[in-house]
Structure 1
Amino acid sequence: MSDVQNESLFEAPPLAEQTRMVEAILFATADPVSIKELTGRMPHGCNPVEALVHVGKRYEGRGVHLVKIEDAYAFRTAPDLGYLMQKETVEVRKLSRAAIETLAIIAYHQPATRAEIEEIRGVSVSRGTIDQLIELEWVRLGRRRMTPGRPVTFVVTAGFLDHFGLENARDLPGLKELRSAGLLENRPPPGTGDVDEDTNDDQADMFEESDE
């Protein structure tokens, strides 16, 4: 078989067809899809990166648009139309003040160890607080620190970024904005008698679940 024939066997589909393939994959998948995943699903020789550019342009100004979440892509409802989905999808999740503050600290200081979280908050952090955030799939275990005891670290997940419409952790609002929104409070220094707020029944109705 000639070289010309070999090339024809692996010739990539036209870009317009690749764009349709990427569009179909993204619509069929609820979770963000990485370039690696797209490459693995599409025929040999396809260029999903270029196809994504065309998909993004195609959906500019429409009811759904293409968003990047870390190194993956997904279709999401246009921000100005999110209110249309809230009636069917809103589910209020109650987080304790301790959980809210712990989540904020992890997001801004990741990777963060339990000791670092406690140092910043000024009070102890119960295991249940972090377990709750892990169950929500907003926090996951990171790499162990190469320090005595090799403590585990915690980082926010792609699901956390997706929920709040962030491409990466660098897009988080400033600490002053968090404090003004009531998501992070200044704490007294350690040893002043504070206890973990997980023991307090007063929970804040925060973080509405609104998967768009």
Structure 2
Amino acid sequence: MGRRPRATEGLDTELAELPPELRWREWMGRVEAVIFASAEPVMRETLARLVGRDCSVDLLIDDIREELRDRPYELVSVAGGWQHRTRQRFAEAIRSVTAVEQPGRLLSQADLLVLAIVAYHQPITRGEISKITGKEVSRDTIAHLRSLGVVASGPRSPQPGAPYTLVTTKTFLSQFGFETLRDLPNIEALEDAGLLSKHMLFDADIPIASDERNEPVDQDAHDR
């Protein structure tokens, strides 16, 4: 059995003086307030520090979700934690009056293709991505994905020169609404939907940097 996270210093988490119903409501309020105030998904360990020793965070979340059922926002499970998100049916209304961009709108088709390859084959080197696409992937493309926080450096590859690999991040999971990488749609489903295909892999307009046209492509991909 895992060790329970230490309670937040100075915060009465047990609330023993309150009757059970009021205690539960207070715990719900704390959990929802912390999630609402955070720009990133809040992990279970953090929420467990706000409530009593015998309190079930999962049951609290279920009750909060039930109360939000008729609201324009909801509590979603992403990137291993919980986050408030506006409901999808209000996305068009929000975009019509704000400058907020959805993550996919900041990515070109080529960016999305490279990101999909990283997501499904990580850890993977830039050279290995180039082998899959049949075209040399520009450092600028990788730099753009890094700047958005959706990919990061993984472990070094055992290939000659030990290049760093690329992996997706918690930001990737959060931005695309995945709880874990297990939530990625299977490749067959993407092909059936026309979102990923051999045609895309070989014909996508992937930028090629002028100083990289003759750079050798890494060999021996080691897909998971």
Normalization by structure 1: what TM-score? 0.72
Task: Answer 1 or 2: higher relative contact order, Cα 8 Å, separation at least 6.
Answer: 1
SS in 2 for 1:25: helix
CA distance in 1, matches of 2:108, 2:197: 11
Q: Which residue of 1 aligns with 2:66?
A: 57
Determine the structure 2 residue equivalent to 1:192: none
Q: Which amino acid aligns with 2:14?
A: A
C-alpha distance 20-133 of structure 1, shift in aligned 2 (>3 A): same
Alpha-carbon contact 1:100-1:183 (below 8 Å) kept:
no
Correspondence for 1:132 among 140, 144, 150: 144
**Cα contact 1:102–1:117 (8 A) shared by 2:** yes
SS of 1:153's equivalent?
strand
What's the offset of the Cα at 1:128? 1.5
Within the alignment, does 1:122 sit opposite 2:124 as a pair? no
Choose the corresponding residue for 1:66, options 75, 90, 96: 75
Equivalent pair of 2:138/2:207 in contact (CA under 8 Å):
no
- Does residue 86 of the first structure (1) align with residue 95 of the second (2)? yes
1:156 aligns with 2:168: yes
Name 1:197's counterpart in structure 2: 207
Equivalence for 1:21: 30
For 1:74-94, what per-residue CA distance to the aligned partner results, in whole angstroms no more than 9, with x for missing partners? Answer: 010112222221121344535
State the one-letter code of the partner of 1:95: S
- SS of the aligned residue for 1:197 comes to coil
Which sections of structure 2, spanning at least 5 residues, go unmatched? 1-10, 16-22, 211-224
Does 2:108 match 1:95? yes
Structure 1 counterpart of 2:201, one-letter code:
N
Indicate the SS of the match to 1:85: helix
Identity of aligned residues (%): 32
TM-score of the two chains, using structure 2 as the length reference: 0.69
Matched, 1:187 2:188: no
CA contact (8 A) 1:138 1:156 kept: yes
Q: Report how many aligned residue pairs link the two structures.
A: 185
Whether the 8 Å CA contact 2:79–2:174 is kept in 1: the answer is no
Contact 1:18–1:47, Cα closer than 8 Å, also in 2: no
Give how far 1:67 is off: 0.6
Question: Structure 1 stretches of 5 or more lacking a match?
Answer: 1-8, 189-194, 201-212
Counterparts of 1:59 and 1:70 in 2: how far apart (Å)? 21
Question: Secondary structure of the equivalent of 1:142?
Answer: strand
Q: Distance in 1 between matches of 2:109 and 2:88?
A: 27
Contact 1:104/1:183 (CA < 8 Å) preserved in 2?
A: no
What's 1:203 paired with? none
Cα root mean square deviation, aligned: 3.1
Q: CA deviation at 1:170?
A: 2.8
Aligned-partner Cα distance in 1 for 2:197–2:99: 23
Instruction: Confirm or deny that 1:169 pairs with 2:181.
Output: yes
Question: Which whole-Å CA distance do the structure 2 matches of 1:166 and 1:183 have between them?
Answer: 22
SS of the residue aligned with 1:186?
Answer: helix
Q: Do the aligned partners of residues 19 and 152 (structure 1) sit closer, same or farther apart at CA in structure 2, a change above 3 Å counting?
A: same
Aligned to 1:12: 14
Q: In structure 1, what is the equivalent of residue 155 of structure 2?
A: 143
In the TM superposition, residue 25 of structure 1 has moved relative to its aligned partner by 0.7
| Counterpart AA for 2:68 | Y
Q: Per-residue displacement from partner, 1:138-192 (whole Å, max 9, x unpaired)?
A: 111222345554332212222222222222333333435656247871328xxxx
